[in-house]
Amino acid sequence: PAYEDKVGRRAIRVMDLADLETLPLKVDRLLTHHNALRTGLGHPEVAHEAIMSELTSIAGEVLPYMDRVWKILDDARRAGERILFEGAQGTLLDIDHGTYPFVTSSNTVAGQAASGSGVGPGAIDYVLGITKAYTTRVGEGPFPTEQDNEVGEFLGTRGHEFGTVTGRKRRCGWFDAVLVRQAVAVNGMKGIALTKLDVLDGLDEIKVCTAYRLDGELIDYLPASQGAQARVEPVYETLEGWKGTTGGARSWNDLPAQAVKYVRYIEELIGAPVAMLSTSPERDDTILVTDPFQD
């Protein structure tokens, strides 16, 4: 509802709390919409007085934190300070570029960092994408490389794959280079942080999706239509696994040869270098190849 209120131009914004003369009219407009829906669904209406009381009670606590974010960021940038934006949710959950309608209600691609904060797009000079060494998804939606079998169980158990918000069990599958390659392009990624490589330790063989087959035709992208997304079949390349452990590795020399081969193969397929490689849940167990904060 909050997302829809914003694009419907009826949302209550922070600056509205500073003008108590016009706030009641804005609350009226908001409730005209929502109470009509609630009545139609058999729910009681929300009282105007209750909303006004809640908003006015928090105004004094919230307003001191209101400022021109674009100005703060622009001043910091001009002063030579480093600015880090962190996104949430994957590219394929983006309202425009994702697996619609199985998406979130906002843009999750890297470009949203600029439009959402108020910095110019040219101010962002490095985009680091984050992906696991295999693929996961929470909830419904197309998942070409899903392994609803012992492989999926292995990945889910070893990787502790449960949703951070809902606690739901994540669906697991092989690495999908088609999706990651598309995400690299859409986000303008200059590097990838590849995580959970250690989850693959001990597998005899590891598959990587390199393309899709749609109605008999070989394609290298995820089609836009919901029907076509449901029909694509993954095309796999099979790599030899490794018996050694990658867990806790902090340099390339600590990795089994086949693990290095796997990482290099992924780089080749997605068209972006692996800038960081994570080998355990511990933050120090990371191989830093490229430092994005280094000139």
127-143: per-residue pLDDT in tens? 999 999 999 998 899 99
Residue 82 counted as domain residue: no
| Burial state string for 134-165 with b = 16 or more CB within 10 A and e = fewer than 16 | bbbbbeebbbbbbbeeebbebbbebbebeeee
CA distance 173 to 207: 9
* Domain end call among 25, 51, 66: 66
CA distance 192 to 32: 47
Q: Which of 38-47, 159-168, 208-217, 261-270 has the lowest mean pLDDT?
A: 159-168
Q: How many CA atoms lie within 13 A of 102 on its CB side?
A: 16
Q: What is the pLDDT of residue 44?
A: 97
Residue 17 counted as domain residue: yes
At residue 275, the 3 state secondary structure works out as: strand
Mean pLDDT of 66-87: 95
Mean pLDDT of 271-281: 95
Q: What is the pLDDT of residue 163?
A: 75
Q: Provide the CATH number for the domain around residue 159.
A: 3.90.170.10
Residue 293 has pLDDT above 80, yes or no: no
Residues 59 and 131 in one domain: no
Q: How far is CA 36 from CA 2, 4, 60, 189, in A?
A: 16, 15, 31, 44
Residue 248 counted as domain residue: yes
Residue 266 has pLDDT above 80, yes or no: yes
Which residues have CB under 8 Å from 215's CB, separation 6+? Answer: 231
Residue 107 counted as domain residue: no
Residues 155 and 259 in one domain: yes
Helix (H) or strand (E) holding 117: helix 111-117
Residue 87 counted as domain residue: no
Mean pLDDT of 12-28: 96
Q: Provide the CATH number for the domain around residue 30.
A: 1.10.300.10
For residue 295, name the pLDDT band (cuts at 50, 70, 90).
Answer: low
Phi first, then psi, for residue 132 (nearest 5°) are -80, 165
Q: What is the pLDDT of residues 201-254, one digit of tens each?
A: 999 999 999 999 999 999 999 999 999 999 999 999 999 999 999 999 999 999
Q: How many domains does the chain have?
A: 2
Q: What is the pLDDT of residue 65?
A: 96
CA distance 47 to 69: 33
Give percent above pLDDT 90 in the chain: 92
Q: What is the pLDDT of residue 1?
A: 81
Continuous H helices in 150-201: 150-158, 177-187
* β-bridge mates for residue 274, sequence order: 192
Residues 25 and 140 in one domain: no
Q: What is the pLDDT of residue 66?
A: 96
Quote the mean pLDDT of the chain. 95
Residues 153 and 278 in one domain: yes
Residue 97 counted as domain residue: no
Residues 53 and 170 in one domain: no
Q: Which of 101, 18, 100, 97 is nearest to 61 (CA)?
A: 18
Mean pLDDT of 49-77: 96
Mean pLDDT of 149-159: 94
* Domain end call among 20, 37, 66: 66
Residues 184 and 270 in one domain: yes
Question: What's the domain range around 47?
Answer: 2-66
* β-bridge mates for residue 170, sequence order: none
Residue 75 counted as domain residue: no
CA distance 178 to 232: 12
Q: What is the CA radius of gyration of the chain?
A: 23
Mean pLDDT of 81-88: 93
Residue 159 counted as domain residue: yes
Residue 99 has pLDDT above 80, yes or no: yes
Mean pLDDT of 62-83: 96
For residue 165, name the pLDDT band (cuts at 50, 70, 90).
Answer: confident
Long-range CB pairs of 28-31, under 8 A, 24+ apart, other chains included: 30/5
Residues 13 and 157 in one domain: no
* Domain end call among 66, 83, 110: 66
pTM: 0.90
